[in-house]
Amino acid sequence: MKRSLSAAAVVVLAGLLTGCGGGPRAGNGVGPSSTSGGASLTVFAAASLRATFTELGHEFEAAHPGTKVTFSFGGSSDLVAQLQNGAPADVFASADEANMTKATTAGLTTGAPQIFATNVLEIAVPKGNPAGIHSFQDLAKSGTRLVVCAQQVPCGAAAQKAAQVAGVALKPVSEEQSVTDVLGKVISGDADAGLVYVTDAKGAGGKVDGVNFSESSAAVNRYPIAALKGVKDSALAQEFVDFVRGSQGRKVLGDAGFGAP
Amino acid sequence: MPASARRSPRGYTGIPRWVYVPAAVGLLFVVVPFVGILARVDWAHFVPLITSESSLAALRLSLETALASTAACLLIGVPMALVLARGPVRGRRWLRGLVLLPLVLPPVVGGLALLYTFGRVGFVGRWLEVAGLQIAFTTMAVVMAQAFVSLPFLVVSLEGGLRTAGGRYEAVAATLGAAPSHVFRRVTLPLVLPGLVSGLVLSFARSLGEFGATLTFAGSLQGVTRTLPLEVYLQREVDPDAAVALALVLVVLAGAVVGIVYGRRAAGTAER
């Protein structure tokens, strides 16, 4: 028993060894992602697109029998960094134009990226709105525990812009890493209010209430999508892009609260 | 250390020769990523990057909170280790498992647990709130998150030391009429001091690196709750150079900490 275990360990380590040898050079190409039988499509999409793109993926698979769509959802900047380091993907959908620009500058995309959706900020408050937040100005009331995104991330930059337009100096108790972190603190009731995207508040499924504010139109977030270079079936990648931008895509995105481009 | 190693007899080791190959691969696996980060550092701007206002605020907050949480671990961890190692407790194995839980738990889970306990609507936090004490989003929350994840390091390290040392000297001291507290101070503590020190240093290191529980429970605000790991994670969004520079600072700090513990330990072994 012991012997067979150590033999297995040797096999595993040998595998590691050979893997290590090929490592550094395999970085810039597209990895071996082919699957036997049927076409496969890998889509890197911003975390805020998780619900809508998962649904669109199923619809796309239904419209293209035999095709398998795989998603990797994450922060747009993380996804770009992964793409720059050789992650194999066919389509990239970003939550902001800055990160898509990084991808185009690095020569990762084919053709010009196209805007397929927009999103605006909304105030999310815990169920029942215990702190009585009804306007952007209310966020600056003393004693209000406000949570926003850090300025370094897109939702934080948008919050900053809205605050400037409204002429309100925000004093958040926390500047979170991502919109999900903000939402989490509103859902748990630890924050009185948080600035999130309309779609996030809607996607929280009734666990938070949304409060619209007119200043949100000053900071509209635009979502670009593009097919990526170095893919096996670039026609399929482009088809997915067109599908997202087409009527079915519009409907699913619209239902989730995304605005038209 | 090298001198004593050379003096030690190099006879039969009992290690099959092939073992050195995977061992070397393992060593490379650990070391090479550090070379990777060193290669990525923008040395020309290194000093300005790590001395920016936000970097210094994060570094200072990290050191302060890690010291505070290590002190908290000392205050509650030493009694815990004593009871676990020598107390007449039932279900010792279960208790030890419970104490170790934060060690194996993903930190973000620990953070959620703290949030739903000490957060504003948590079952403890609710009453603290009534008493006018707010924990979430304060530096206190950072210290709590760090202590939560680093306590097991101290308890395990010290408990091991206590069990290895045994209770013979204490028994002798007691027969000579020394009170338990006196025995603890004059006999037990000096005996287990190496284990205690390494436990403390490991707790400090773990606190310094705490990320998940802090982000989940304490939030992130410059100078209040944004520690060095959180700053690294945030800077990576806009300024990868700053993130890498700060990451290197963390690597050096962690390396120094491990060096202190194992340098001491190696010196101790050589003396024996």
Are both A50 and A179 inside the same structural domain?
Answer: no
DSSP annotation string for chain B: -HHHHHHS--------GGGHHHHHHHHHHHHHHHHHHHHH--GGGHHHHHTSHHHHHHHHHHHHHHHHHHHHHHHHHHHHHHHHHHS--SSHHHHHHHHHHHHHS-HHHHHHHHHHHHSTTSTTHHHHHHTT---TTSHHHHHHHHHHHHHHHHHHHHHHHHHHH-SHHHHHHHHTT--HHHHIIIIIHHHHHHHHHHHHHHHHHHHHT--HHHHHHT---TTTT--HHHHHHHHHHH-HHHHHHHHHHHHHHHHHHHHHHHHHHHHHHHH-
Residue, of B144 and A180, whose pLDDT is higher? B144
Residue, of A125 and A34, whose pLDDT is higher? A125
- How many pairs of residues across A and B have Cβ atoms under 8 Å apart? 72
B259 to chain A, any CB pair closer than 8 A? The answer is no
| pLDDT at residue B240 in the model | 81
| pLDDT at residue B265 in the model | 61
A192 to chain B, any CB pair closer than 8 A? The answer is no
Domain ranges of chain B: 15-271
| pLDDT at residue B6 in the model | 43
3-state secondary structure of A202: helix
| pLDDT at residue B124 in the model | 92
The second-level CATH assignment, the architecture, of B15-271 is Orthogonal Bundle (1.10)
Mean pLDDT across chain A, nearest whole number? 83
**Is the separation of the CB atoms in A55 and A105 below 8 Å?**
no
Q: Does residue A29 lie within any of the structural domains?
A: no
**Is the separation of the CB atoms in A108 and A84 below 8 Å?**
yes
Find all residues with CB under 8 Å of A61, minimum gap 6, and list them. Answer: A67, A68, A69
**What mean pLDDT comes out for the span B257-272?**
64
**What mean pLDDT comes out for the span B94-116?**
90
| pLDDT at residue A22 in the model | 35
Q: Is the pLDDT of residue B127 over 80?
A: yes
| pLDDT at residue B5 in the model | 44
What is the C-alpha separation between A124 and B229, in angstroms, rounded? 28
Are both A145 and A100 inside the same structural domain?
Answer: no
CA angle B57, B59, B62 (to 5 degrees): 105
Q: A210 - beta bridge partners?
A: A124
Are both A244 and A178 inside the same structural domain?
Answer: no
User: A-chain residues within 8 Å CB-CB of B58?
Assistant: none
A157 to chain B, any CB pair closer than 8 A? The answer is no
A152 to chain B, any CB pair closer than 8 A? The answer is yes
Q: Does residue A154 lie within any of the structural domains?
A: yes
**What mean pLDDT comes out for the span B243-253?**
90
Mean pLDDT across chain B, nearest whole number? 87
Find all residues with CB under 8 Å of B171, minimum gap 6, and list them. Answer: none
What is the C-alpha separation between A191 and B267, in angstroms, rounded? 51
Cα A219 versus chain centre, distance: 18
Longest dimension (CA), chain B: 69
**Chain A interface, mutation test: which of B112, B129, B211, B220, most A Cβ atoms within 10 Å?**
B220
Over the stretch A8-21, which tens digit does the pLDDT of each residue have?
Answer: 444 444 444 333 33
Cβ pair A77:B237 closer than 8 A: yes
Distance from CA of B121 to the nearest CA of A (A): 6
Q: Is the pLDDT of residue A36 over 90?
A: no
Find all residues with CB under 8 Å of A87, minimum gap 6, and list them. Answer: A31, A44, A72
Helix A76-84 vs helix A97-105: angle between axes, to the nearest 10 degrees? 10
**What mean pLDDT comes out for the span A40-66?**
92
Segment 94-123 of chain A within 8 Å of chain B by CB = none
Are both A104 and A193 inside the same structural domain?
Answer: no
B119 to chain A, any CB pair closer than 8 A? The answer is yes
| pLDDT at residue B264 in the model | 63
What is the C-alpha separation between A64 and A80, in angstroms, rounded? 27
User: B-chain residues within 8 Å CB-CB of A184?
Assistant: 216
Over the stretch A132-186, which tens digit does the pLDDT of each residue have?
Answer: 999 999 999 888 999 999 988 888 888 999 999 989 999 999 999 888 889 989 9
Cβ pair B219:A188 closer than 8 A: no
Cβ pair B221:A17 closer than 8 A: no
The values of phi and psi at residue A64, to 5°, are -125, 80
**Model-level ipTM above the cut of 0.90:** no
What's the half-sphere exposure (Cβ side, CA atoms, 13 Å) at B178? 16
Distance from CA of B158 to the nearest CA of A (A): 33
Are both A228 and A214 inside the same structural domain?
Answer: no
Residue of chain A with shortest Cα separation from B118? A190
Are both A129 and A101 inside the same structural domain?
Answer: no
Are both A87 and A199 inside the same structural domain?
Answer: no
Q: Is the pLDDT of residue B71 over 80?
A: yes
Q: What is the DSSP letter of A166?
A: H
**What mean pLDDT comes out for the span B45-57?**
90
The token duo for B142 is 């950072």
| pLDDT at residue A34 in the model | 39
| pLDDT at residue A35 in the model | 39
The token duo for B261 is 């513990």
Distance from CA of A196 to the nearest CA of B (A): 16
**What mean pLDDT comes out for the span A94-103?**
91
| pLDDT at residue A59 in the model | 95
B222 to chain A, any CB pair closer than 8 A? The answer is yes
Are both A113 and A228 inside the same structural domain?
Answer: yes
Q: Does residue A34 lie within any of the structural domains?
A: no
B123 to chain A, any CB pair closer than 8 A? The answer is no
Task: Could you list the beta-strand ranges (E) of A62-220.
Answer: 68-74, 91-93, 109-119, 121-126, 146-149, 174-176, 193-197, 208-211
A175 to chain B, any CB pair closer than 8 A? The answer is yes
**Chain A interface, mutation test: which of B17, B19, B121, B237, most A Cβ atoms within 10 Å?**
B237
B115 to chain A, any CB pair closer than 8 A? The answer is yes
Over the stretch A189-244, which tens digit does the pLDDT of each residue have?
Answer: 889 999 999 998 888 888 899 998 988 888 888 999 999 987 777 789 999 999 99
User: B-chain residues within 8 Å CB-CB of A9?
Assistant: 22
Q: Is the pLDDT of residue B2 over 80?
A: no
**In total, how many domains does chain A have?**
2
User: A-chain residues within 8 Å CB-CB of B18?
Assistant: 10
pLDDT band at B60 (very low <50, low <70, confident <90, very high): very high
Task: Indicate if the alpha-carbon torsion angle A21, A22, A25, A27 is positive or negative.
Answer: negative
DSSP annotation string for B236-256: HHH-HHHHHHHHHHHHHHHHH
Domain of A158, in residue numbers: 121-218
**Which helix (H) or strand (E) element contains residue A238?**
helix A234-245
A174 to chain B, any CB pair closer than 8 A? The answer is yes
Residue of chain B with shortest Cα separation from A188? B121
3-state secondary structure of A182: helix
Tell me the C-alpha to C-alpha distance, in Å, between residue A61 and each of A40, A57, A68, B11, B139. Answer: 10, 6, 6, 66, 49
- Return the residue matching tokens 């209010």: A193
Give the CATH number of the domain where residue A52 resides. 3.40.190.10
A181 to chain B, any CB pair closer than 8 A? The answer is yes
What is the C-alpha separation between A184 and A166, in angstroms, rounded? 25
The values of phi and psi at residue B174, to 5°, are -65, -40
